[in-house]
Amino acid sequence: MSIIHKTTMSPTKVELLTAWLPGQPWYAAAQRAPELSRAGGFRLDDPEGEVGIEFMVVRDDAGDRPAWYHVPMTYHAAPLDGAEQALIGTTEHGVLGQRWIYDGAHDPVLVGQLFALLQGRAEPQAQSVSDTPDPSVIAEVAGAGFEVPAGAAEASAVANGPDGTRLLLGDGVALQVTRVLRPESGAQTAGVRGHVSAGWRLSEDDETRGRFAVLYDTVS
């Protein structure tokens, strides 16, 4: 179960994302500095207990209208080999010491646990409370489920684009990590095999939910 330490981080996650987001192809207010605030998310547990896994939502008020971004992140006690391009930044944690924070779409630990969530083998956890499942996070897969191609978490081809981050898993299957969140429409999309949906805050008094990740066929 996730242990949430009530302590400080310097710089904070929001401060790190403020510097990192403008360099991403899916960031909309490219000519302005982000104005970020936390708006929701959830966590997953690393079975080995070594890596923190968080799916964070931030609201950005830098543009003409608010936007909500989904950033899956992992927290490591040492640099992750071969993932320099995915480094969001480093921070000093008040309890755990220095931490390396990565864009989780490039981290096999997060990708593997996202697969486990879709397969019903992982339980989503509350973002800010220790040892507390979050039943509002829903993973759905059509039919009898799906098999993860061998080595997919470690060898997925990752492509960032204006619509999000796509992981090609092999065997005609891909996982799309949604970056710019929008409320779920309920419409069915051809080729979609499953998805993970969760909620986030639009404002202090209003919430919505949508798809954080979508599993789909790349060939028909």
Per-residue pLDDT of the chain (220 residues; tens, 9 = 90+): 567 667 778 899 999 999 999 999 999 877 789 999 999 999 999 999 999 999 999 999 998 899 999 999 999 999 999 899 999 999 998 777 799 999 999 999 999 999 999 999 999 999 988 889 999 999 998 866 667 666 666 656 889 998 899 998 877 788 999 999 998 865 566 688 899 999 999 998 999 999 999 998 886 5
**Beta strands, E only, the chain:** 9-10, 36-44, 52-60, 67-76, 87-93, 97-103, 125-126, 138-141, 157-161, 164-170, 173-178, 192-203, 206-217
Residue for token digits 């330490």? Answer: 5
- Output the pTM of the full model: 0.92
Residue boundaries of the structural domains of the chain: 9-217
